[in-house]
Structure 1
Amino acid sequence: MPETPHLDRVKSPEDLRNLSIKDLKKVAEELRAETVDAVSETGGHLGAGLGVVELTIALHHVFDTPRDRLIWDVGHQSYPHKIITGRRDQIRTIRQPGGLYGFTKRTESEYDPFGAAHSSTSISAGLGMAVASSLKGEARNVVCVIGDGAMSGGMAYEAMNNAGSMPPRLIVILNDNEMSIAPAVGALNAYLSRLLSSHQFRSLRELGKQWARRLPKAMGDAAMRAEEYSRGMVTGGTLFEELGFFYIGPIDGHNLEHLIPVLRNVRRDETPGPVLLHVVTSKGKGYEPAENAPDRGHALGKFDVVTGEQKKGKPKAPSYTNVFAQSLIKEADRDEKIVALTAAMPSGTGLDKFAKAHPTRCFDVGIAEQHCVTFAAGLATEGLKPSCRFASRSTAPASWAPTGRRTAGSFDITYLATLPGFVVMAAADEAELVHMVHTAAKIDDRPSAFRYPRGEGTGVPLPEHPKMLEIGKGRIVREGTTIAILSLGGRLQEALGAADELQARGLSTTVADARFAKPLDEDLIRLLAREHEVLITIEEGSIGGFGAHVMQFLAMAGFMDAGLKIRPMLLPDRFVAHGTPAGMYEDAGLTASHIVDMALSALGSNSATMPRRA
C-alpha cells in the first residue's frame, strides 16, 4: 500500500478547497499512486484515470460539488473522482460483485449526477441539467468533462449545436489525450488561456461587439468575424466557436498552476452561454508501464505494480474475439468485397488483426456507432460486404463482462429480430461462430447479424473449412422424449448440463440449438412442440426476443390451444448487477440448475419430489 498522508486527510472535496497548490500537488501524487495500487488488485480502466488526476483535483477544488454538477464522459476517467468523493474505502471493490460500479452511477453517490459509461452523452445531459436549473431559478455550474474519443461521437456535436443557441451556462472541458488537434502547450498558451477566460477580456470583447454593431452592417459583421477567426487561428477553437461556444485553450491538464486560475475564471464568469475549455493530458500519466503501453493502460486485468505485468491465467481455449477475427480475415482473403468497420474498438473487437491483414479495407470511425452503421449501408449500396463489429453497449453483438450492464447486450436479439428481412444468428460455441462468419459473408440479398460471447470459447475443435449454414435452420444436439430445451446462443452447454440432470431423474430430454432467432426454424419448433410435454426456450436476452418469436409462432399454429407447456427463460426485466460471468448468470437465472427447476415446475414437480436415480 502506498503512503498517502496528504490524501488521507481528504474525506470529501470540501477538504481540497482550502489547500494550497503546493499541497494539492502532493495530493495528486498520492492519488495517482492510490489509483495504480487499487486497479492492480481489481483490474479495470487505469490509463484514463491517471490522465485526469490533476484535472479531477482542480475541478473539485474550484467548483462547489455536488451542488455544481460534474459529469464524466466516458466514465473510465472517474476512478480518482470516486476516491476523493468519499468512496476511497471501497475503491478496491470496483467492478467486483457487490462493489463499486466501474463508471459513474447516480445511486452510488451524490457526486455522480449522471450515470454513464459510453459515450458522448455528457453535453446533452449537462445541457438538460443547466436548463432545468435555469427554469427552477437555481444558480449552479454544470461541468461536462468529455474525452477526445467521446467527442468523436455525433451526439456530442448535436448537443453542442443545440447548446450554442441557448442562454443557460454550460461548461464543457475537452480532455484531449489522443487527437493532437492542438499545438504544443506551454507558458505562452497558459497565459493566453488565462487572458481569454478572464472577466476583463470577456467584458472588453462585449464592448467590441457593441462598437461593431454601431458600424455599417457589412463593416460590423466583418469586424466580428475577424475577431473570432483571428482568435481561432491562434488557439485552434474555430470549430467550437462556430457551434456557439466560447473557446479557451489549449492548456496543460497536468499543471495545477495553469488549470486552477483558468477554472476560477470560467466559474466566476457571469456571461450567459456555453464555454469550452480545451485541456491537453497524457493517458497513463505518471505510471511508466501505462505510459509505454500501446493503449496506455486503457483496460487491464490484475497486474504487478512494480513491473506493470498483467496476471493472466493460461487460456484453456481461444477467445471468441480471436476466432471471429481470424475467421473474418480468411473470408476477406477469399472475397475482396468484404470490408470491416468498428467504432473506436479495434483491439477489443479483434479488428486490429484484420487491419494488419487488409489495411485498406478496415475502418475505425471513432465512437460513432450510428455513423458506423450508416457508413456500412453506403458501402453495401455499392456492392461491398461491410462487417460492423461493436463491443456491446447493450445494443450490439454482445458480451457478459465484469462491467456488467454496460456490455451485457441485453437487447440485441430483441431489437434486431424486429427488423424486417434481417437474418439474426447467435453462436453456441466457437465452431458455430466460424460457420456464422462464413454464412454472413455469403448472404448477398439482405443484412445479417450474429451474436457471440466474450472471453474464452468452450474448447470445441475449430473447423478447417467453414460451411454455410442453411438460413433459418437449427440442429438437434441430443434426442429425448419428455422435455425439449431449445437454446439460442451461449447457453447450450448449460442446457446440456440440465439435460444430464433431468435424465438422472428419469426425464428424457431433447436439446436443440436454434442457431437463428430470425428466420425461425418452424419445422424444428413444430417437432419439439409435438413430441414433448414441455418446451423450454433459453436465451441471453430481454423479453420480446427469441422466446417471444417462438411463442408467437406456436400461438398462431394452434399449439397453445393443445395444452403445450412452454416456458421461456430469458434475462429478468431489470439491469443485472456487475460481477463475474458465473455470478451474473446465477443472478439472471440462466444456469443448468435453473433450467432443471423450470422443467420440473412445468411438469408439476420439483427437485425435492423428483430424486436423482442412483
Structure 2
Amino acid sequence: MNLYDIKEPCDIKSCSFEELNELAGDIREFLIQSISKTGGHLSSNLGIVELTLALHYVFDSPKDKFIFDVGHQSYVHKMLTGRLKDFSNLRQYKGIAGFQKRGESVHDPWEAGHSSTSLSAALGMAVARDLDGSHFHILPIIGDGALSGGMAMEALNQIGSEQRNMIIIFNDNNMSISKNVGAMDEAFTRLRTSRSYTHLKDDLKHSLSTTRLGSNVLDTMKRVKNAVKDNIVDTSIFGEFNIDYLGPVDGHNIKNLVKVLKIAKQHEGPIVLHVITQKGKGYSFAEHDEEGAWHGVSQFDPKTGQSLAKNPPQHKSWSEVISATVLDLAHDNQDIVAITPAMKSGSKLQKFFETYPQRSFDCGIAEEHAMTFAAGLAAAGKRPFISVYSSFLQRAYDQIHHDVARMKLPVVIGIDRCGLVGEDGETHHGVFDIAMLRPIPNMILAQPKDSEEAQNLIYSAFQQNQYPYAIRYPRGSVPYKKLSAYSYIEAGTWSYQDTGEPQLVVISYGSDVDKIVQKAEANQLSLRVVNARFFKPFDTEMLEELCAMQLPIIVYESDVQIGGLSSAIVEYANDHGLKNTFVRIGLRDHFVEHGSIPKLRKVEQVDLGTLFQVIKDMLKEHSCE
C-alpha cells in the first residue's frame, strides 16, 4: 500500500501482514525525513509504528477511542487518520499539532502534553460510555515512564475497583525522556525478564498459534495473573490492582500484536496488554540514545544525525548557565543537592549528577513528590536545587504552597523553559508561573536579563536561608562568561538604564531588557528602561520614583497579564495613591497555540516591533501635550 493513499484507518484493514510490515518501513522513513525538516518528537514515534498499525488494524477509530498518554507519540496515528499531507507544517503556526488535538480530528478524543493523564481520562470515558449504554472500546496507550507517575497509580486504583471494560496498552520501552529510574522501573525490568514470564510468553505464543481463541488463551491469561501473584509478587503491579495482565508481547511483531489485541478485545473488565518496544527503532542514532537527545529534536541532517541548530560562539543555553553555577557553588557548599523530575538531560544537570552522584536525585515523572522531597531536605538542613520546566511546575503548585513556602523552607527552584516555548504549544508554554507564584506568601521570584545576572541570582538564592527562591529562565541561549566572583543581589531590587534624557519609561524583564536598550539607542529614542528582575518582592521604592517623574510608563511582559508584573504594579499604584496611567503589553486571557516563538510573539502582539510602535505613538502624543 502507498502510504500517501491512506485517508482513513479502514484503508489498512485489507492489508496482509507482509504489506503492513512494508508500510511500517515506509512510515519510519517518512518520519525521519519529515521530522528532520520540521523538528519534533522522533524516538517515541519510531518506537510505536507497528503498535499503532496493529491498533488501527484491529479497532475502529473514531468509534473506538485511542488516548495517547502525553500525546507526543501520536504522529503515526495522525498519519493513518488522514493527516500525512499536513506533516510539512507539523508544529508550525496554524499547522498540525505535535500532540493529539481534539479540534484537529475526530480521531483525537483527548489531548495532553503532560504525562500520566491517560488512565484517568480513559476511566472517565468508560464510565460515561456505560452510563449511556454505549458499546465501544477505550484504549489508553501509556509508557513505562508515565506509568510511574502518581496520577497513573491513582487511576489504576479506581480502575481496579470499577472494573469497567478498557484495554490499557502498556508501551514499555524502558525510557521516558531519559533513562527511567526508581523502584517502579526495577519492577518493570523484573517483569520483562522473569523466567515465569518467559515461560508464560512461550505458552501464549503456542496458544496464539491455534485457530480458536478459546479456553487455552483464557487459561494462559489466568496463569499469567496467578504467576504474578504467586511467583513474583514484588512485580505484581497490575494484579495487585485487580487488573488482568497479558504479555509481554513483542511490540514490533505486527502479526502477534494483532492476535493479542483480538484476545484483549474479547476480555471483560480492565486488562493491561504489556508491549515491549524499542524507542527510536529503525534509526541508529536514536536507538542508542540513553540521555534523551533524540526525544524531541530540532532540524537535523538525517544522514549524519547532526543537529542543524547550533548555539552561536560563546553562548550557552540558559539551562547550562544555571546548572553550571549550581555545580560551581556545590564545590564549596556540601549541603547543596540537585533534584530533577525525569529531566536531567533537558535541565542540563548531567555534569552535576556525574560530579556529585550522592547529592543528585532523579525522582522520575513526579513533580509533586520531587517538590516535597526538596522541602524535606531543606527542613533537615540541606540546600536543594530543583529544576522543573515551567509548564510542569503547575503540577507541584500545592507542594510549593503547602510544603515549601508555608514553612519558609529555602528551596531554590529553577523554573526552566519559562515564557513562550514555541512549537510544543498550549500545554508547554511557560507563561503562567509568575501569576501562579506571586500570591504565595514568603516566595521570592526573579528572572535574570543576562547570564551574569543569572549567575549572581543563583548565588544570592543560596546565600540567603530564609525563603524559597524561584528563578525563571527561558528556552534558548545567551552569551556566557563564567564570573570570577559572584555579587549578591538584594531580593526585590530593580535596576535601570537610560538611553538619553528619559521621555518615557519601559518596565520589562528577562532578555528583552537589553534588546529594548539596544533598539532604543539604534533609533535614538530617549527612554528609561527598567530591569524588573524581581516579581516578588518588587522594588516599590523605584516604582514610586518612576511615577514621580510624571512620564508615560509602559509595562512590557511576554507572559500572561493577569497576575503578572503589570498586575502587581497597577495594584500597588492603586493602593498607594499613585495617579499614573500604565500602558500594559502582555499576553491576553487565552491559551496560545503552537508556532515559532517569533511568529507567536508577533501574532500575540508582544514582539519588540509592537512595543516600539506603541513607544513612538506615545512619545509623539506626549510631545504634543
- Please report the TM-score for the alignment, with normalisation by the length of structure 1: 0.88
From 70, 77, 100, give the equivalent of 1:74. 70
- Which SS does the other structure have where 1:524 is aligned? helix
1:211 counterpart residue number: none
Q: Answer yes or no: is the 8 Å Cα contact 2:113–2:428 preserved in 1.
A: no
2:505 counterpart residue number: 484
Q: Answer yes or no: is the 8 Å Cα contact 2:67–2:108 preserved in 1.
A: yes
The Cα of 1:600 is off from its aligned counterpart by: 5.0
- Which SS does the other structure have where 2:92 is aligned? coil
- Which SS does the other structure have where 1:183 is aligned? helix
Pair 355,300 (structure 1): closer, same or farther in 2 beyond 3 Å? same
1:469 counterpart residue number: 489
The Cα of 1:195 is off from its aligned counterpart by: 5.4
2:532 counterpart residue number: 514
Paired amino acid for 2:462: A
- Which SS does the other structure have where 1:593 is aligned? helix
Note the residue ranges of structure 1 that are not aligned, 5 or more in a row.
Answer: 209-223
Of the structure 1 ranges 299-308 and 508-517, higher mean CA displacement relative to structure 2 is found in 299-308
**What per-residue deviation string (whole Å, max 9, x for no partner) do you get for residues 104-161 of structure 1?**
1111111111111221111111111111111112111110011111112111111111
Pair 460,362 (structure 1): closer, same or farther in 2 beyond 3 Å? closer
From 34, 47, 50, give the equivalent of 2:46. 50
Distance in 2, Cα, partners of 1:16 & 1:252: 21
- Which SS does the other structure have where 1:393 is aligned? helix
- Which SS does the other structure have where 2:389 is aligned? coil
Q: Answer yes or no: is the 8 Å Cα contact 1:488–1:517 preserved in 2.
A: no
Matches within 5 A, 1:193-212: 200=215
Identity of aligned residues (%): 35
Indicate yes or no: 2:603 matched with 1:587. yes
Paired amino acid for 2:266: R
Indicate yes or no: 2:540 matched with 1:544. no
From 335, 338, 347, give the equivalent of 2:336. 338
- Which SS does the other structure have where 2:345 is aligned? helix
1:221 counterpart residue number: none
**What per-residue deviation string (whole Å, max 9, x for no partner) do you get for residues 306-344 of structure 1?**
232222335242211111111110111121111111111
- Which SS does the other structure have where 2:297 is aligned? coil
2:201 counterpart residue number: 189
1:368 counterpart residue number: 366
**What per-residue deviation string (whole Å, max 9, x for no partner) do you get for residues 474-529 of structure 1?**
1112264331111122321343255447754xxx3211111110001110111111
Distance in 2, Cα, partners of 1:191 & 1:601: 78
Pair 456,203 (structure 1): closer, same or farther in 2 beyond 3 Å? closer
Matches within 5 A, 1:229-248: 233=231, 238-248=236-246
2:447 counterpart residue number: 426
Pair 346,86 (structure 1): closer, same or farther in 2 beyond 3 Å? same
Q: Answer yes or no: is the 8 Å Cα contact 2:68–2:141 preserved in 1.
A: yes
1:218 counterpart residue number: none
Pair 234,62 (structure 1): closer, same or farther in 2 beyond 3 Å? farther
From 572, 581, 585, give the equivalent of 1:553. 572
1:310 counterpart residue number: 307
2:118 counterpart residue number: 122
- Which SS does the other structure have where 1:318 is aligned? strand
Paired amino acid for 2:302: V
The Cα of 1:234 is off from its aligned counterpart by: 6.6
Pair 116,305 (structure 1): closer, same or farther in 2 beyond 3 Å? same
1:35 counterpart residue number: 31
Distance in 2, Cα, partners of 1:442 & 1:193: 62
- Which SS does the other structure have where 1:582 is aligned? helix
Q: Answer yes or no: is the 8 Å Cα contact 1:119–1:150 preserved in 2.
A: yes
2:412 counterpart residue number: none
Pair 590,494 (structure 1): closer, same or farther in 2 beyond 3 Å? farther
Pair 555,153 (structure 1): closer, same or farther in 2 beyond 3 Å? same
Pair 133,194 (structure 1): closer, same or farther in 2 beyond 3 Å? farther
Matches within 5 A, 1:183-582: 183-184=192-193, 189=201, 191-192=203-204, 200=215, 228=226, 233=231, 238-269=236-267, 271=268, 273-295=269-291, 297-316=294-313, 317-393=315-391, 395=394, 396-399=415-418, 400-457=421-478, 459=479, 461-478=481-498, 480-497=501-518, 499-500=520-521, 503-504=524-525, 508-542=526-560, 543-559=562-578, 562=579, 564-582=580-598
- Which SS does the other structure have where 1:517 is aligned? strand
**What per-residue deviation string (whole Å, max 9, x for no partner) do you get for residues 159-189 of structure 1?**
1111111132122111111143433487951
Distance in 2, Cα, partners of 1:535 & 1:191: 75
Distance in 1, Cα, partners of 2:576 & 2:205: 71
**What per-residue deviation string (whole Å, max 9, x for no partner) do you get for residues 286-321 of structure 1?**
112211233462122222222322223352422111
Pair 483,62 (structure 1): closer, same or farther in 2 beyond 3 Å? same
Distance in 1, Cα, partners of 2:453 & 2:169: 45
Distance in 2, Cα, partners of 1:59 & 1:340: 41
- Which SS does the other structure have where 1:312 is aligned? coil
From 166, 171, 174, give the equivalent of 2:167. 171
- Which SS does the other structure have where 1:405 is aligned? helix
Q: Answer yes or no: is the 8 Å Cα contact 2:4–2:84 preserved in 1.
A: no
Indicate yes or no: 2:45 matched with 1:24. no
Q: Answer yes or no: is the 8 Å Cα contact 1:199–1:265 preserved in 2.
A: no
Q: Answer yes or no: is the 8 Å Cα contact 1:75–1:103 preserved in 2.
A: yes
Pair 53,427 (structure 1): closer, same or farther in 2 beyond 3 Å? same
- Which SS does the other structure have where 1:569 is aligned? strand
- Which SS does the other structure have where 1:436 is aligned? helix
Pair 117,189 (structure 1): closer, same or farther in 2 beyond 3 Å? same
1:212 counterpart residue number: none
The CA RMSD measured in Å over matched residues stands at: 2.7
**What per-residue deviation string (whole Å, max 9, x for no partner) do you get for residues 537-569 of structure 1?**
22232111221111111111101xx3x121222
Distance in 1, Cα, partners of 2:242 & 2:273: 13
Distance in 2, Cα, partners of 1:398 & 1:303: 22
Q: Answer yes or no: is the 8 Å Cα contact 1:74–1:147 preserved in 2.
A: no
Distance in 2, Cα, partners of 1:230 & 1:531: 74
- Which SS does the other structure have where 1:390 is aligned? strand
Q: Answer yes or no: is the 8 Å Cα contact 2:118–2:141 preserved in 1.
A: yes
Distance in 2, Cα, partners of 1:314 & 1:489: 19
Note the residue ranges of structure 2 that are not aligned, 5 or more in a row.
Answer: 175-184, 395-414
The Cα of 1:231 is off from its aligned counterpart by: 5.5
Of the structure 1 ranges 294-303 and 356-365, higher mean CA displacement relative to structure 2 is found in 294-303
- Which SS does the other structure have where 1:348 is aligned? coil
- Please report the TM-score for the alignment, with normalisation by the length of structure 2: 0.87
- Which SS does the other structure have where 2:99 is aligned? coil
Pair 318,255 (structure 1): closer, same or farther in 2 beyond 3 Å? same
Q: Answer yes or no: is the 8 Å Cα contact 1:423–1:518 preserved in 2.
A: yes
Paired amino acid for 1:62: V
